Amino acid sequence: MGVQETWAGWGSALASAMFLWAMFSQYFSDILGDRLGVYAMKLVYLFYPYIEITFEEYTGELLRRSHAYAAVESYLSASSRSKHARRLKADYDRSGSGSGSGSGSGSGPGSAIILSMDDHEEVIDSFSGAKLYWSSQIAPLESHSISFYPSPPDRRFYRLSFHRRHRDLVANSYIPHVLDEGKAIGLKNRVRRLYTNNTSYDSYDFRKLGWSHVHFEHPATFETIAMDPEKKRDIVDDLIAFSRGKEFYSRVGKPWKRGYLLYGPPGTGKSTMIAAMANLLDYDVYDLELTAVKNNSALRKLLLEISGKAIIVLEDIDCSLDLSGKRKQEREKSEEEVKKIGSEENKESKVTLSGLLNFIDGLWSACGGERLVVFTTNFVEKLDPALIRRGRMDRHIELSYCDFEGFKVLARNYLGIKEHTLFEKIQRLLEERNITPADVAENLMPKKVKEVAVSVEVCLTNLIQALMESKLKSAKGEEEMLAGTVAKVVEEKESAAPSTLNDVAR
């Protein structure tokens, strides 16, 4: 028999086998096929003694990023493990800590480079004598159900493989070790972010609801804030005690959160105070725009997306929504007016005072921990007392006009001086006139490039002149107001005189 006849025989046999398998699959039940699959897998496991555990990047109905995946990512990015990988991904370390597996200088946003495992890469780890194999995987995401929630384009996950004899060691010791160490590395190297909620929302499209962010790089600290030193020290001590009070809050049965109400005239440093809080505690900042939130349900969903170690900020709370004690009365409108503005009213936020209170200290506020809720307002008297009572806004901090102690802080920041002969005159003027720290800082700022190297007397003189002009304007304004009041009284008396004379004549 020749070679051609032999290959022809094999081809005929293979074709017959494929035909028989197709007939089997068509006429026999799926249950039998599933049973055969189960037995086949058992046969494979008999000769393949390794167990695999996967850590998915996104989990849950809303597809939130898994904390376990993030911890594994940080753990594997450490230099002691990622140095064994051949394919790596590089990114700038915005924190400048340079704790990745490699570092170098560059002109990018950071001075160090973070290296992490690339897709389809594998590294080997060891723990208590056991060898463990980590691989970074990516695959197309297959979705067989219709969902209103967004889904990532690809499925990313880490796969951990190990011999089955190490199962108890991995489950009870190794995985907790990886998650704890990865979380610690992530907190050390994390870059703080400034979040804002999206301005559009559709109840049928979750993708329009959520937070977008940028890197938070505000340089403010409590040392640079123009405020009484004792008051600053009290605030700093309170913040540090809160950040270390996890066990205390658990013992007294309260959610680990604290409310701050910052109030005072515009330009007194409320936003700067928030930035200093974030820099002191190393917290992210969530700037919540209430007018962009559709309703109370959307507000709760935003709350669930906020991580721990966060400052939730609602600036100018008196202007965000109608949250004052006196509710606006419904005004009568003609049919034409209703048709004209009806579509605009539908777009307005339906967040209520009750919904905001639940957001602050209701049951939903306990979802998560280590959070500060900060309100700012220029007119504290306009706010509903229920909104700012103790227990919701635990600390009420008034940021008022600049005093002499605050001026000295600004003089040290802007001019680098602690004493000057003009300080006595400035102190006297500050006692006579209210001026905000923002106005003081503006006058201490050199107006021209050439003034930077000039004596500090130029800047101090600018401030003295501004204080004197502000004082004169105030006096002139009071005189004009007084003259207007007198003229109004005289006018009222003159208008009432003729009617009085007529009554007498009658």
Sketch the domain layout of the chain as residue ranges: 33-141+151-191, 194-324+349-398, 415-491
Looking at residue 266, the DSSP 8-state letter turns out to be T
- The mean pLDDT of the chain is 76
Least confident of 27-36, 69-78, 317-326, 480-489: 480-489
Least confident of 363-372, 379-388, 422-431, 447-456: 447-456
Model pLDDT, residue 54: 92
**150 is written with which tokens?**
């967004």
Task: Say which residue the tokens 């600053």 belong to.
Answer: 232
**245 is written with which tokens?**
């009070």
Does this model's pTM top 0.75? no
Higher pLDDT, 218 or 477: 218
pLDDT tens, residue by residue, 187-217: 777 788 999 987 554 444 444 457 888 889 8
CB 119 within 8 A of CB 137: yes
Instruction: Classify strands 154-163 and 130-140 as parallel, antiparallel or unpaired.
Output: antiparallel
Collect contacts of 472-479 with beta carbons under 8 A, ≥24 apart: 474/433
Model pLDDT, residue 102: 41
Architecture of the domain spanning 194-324+349-398: 3-Layer(aba) Sandwich (3.40)
**358 is written with which tokens?**
């639940």
Cα 468 to chain centroid distance, Å, stands at 43
Cα separation, 256 vs 310, in Å, equals 11
Mean pLDDT to the nearest integer, 286-290: 91
pLDDT at residue 403 above 80? Answer: yes
**62 is written with which tokens?**
């809303």
pLDDT band at 504 (very low <50, low <70, confident <90, very high): very low
Higher pLDDT, 485 or 362: 362
CB 100 within 8 A of CB 113: yes
pLDDT at residue 423 above 90? Answer: yes
CB 409 within 8 A of CB 417: no
Model pLDDT, residue 50: 86
pLDDT at residue 327 above 60? Answer: no
**57 is written with which tokens?**
């990047």
DSSP 90-126: EEEETT----SS-----SSSSSEEEEEEPTT-EEEEE
Which has the closest alpha carbon to 356: 291, 282, 431? 291
pLDDT at residue 340 above 60? Answer: no
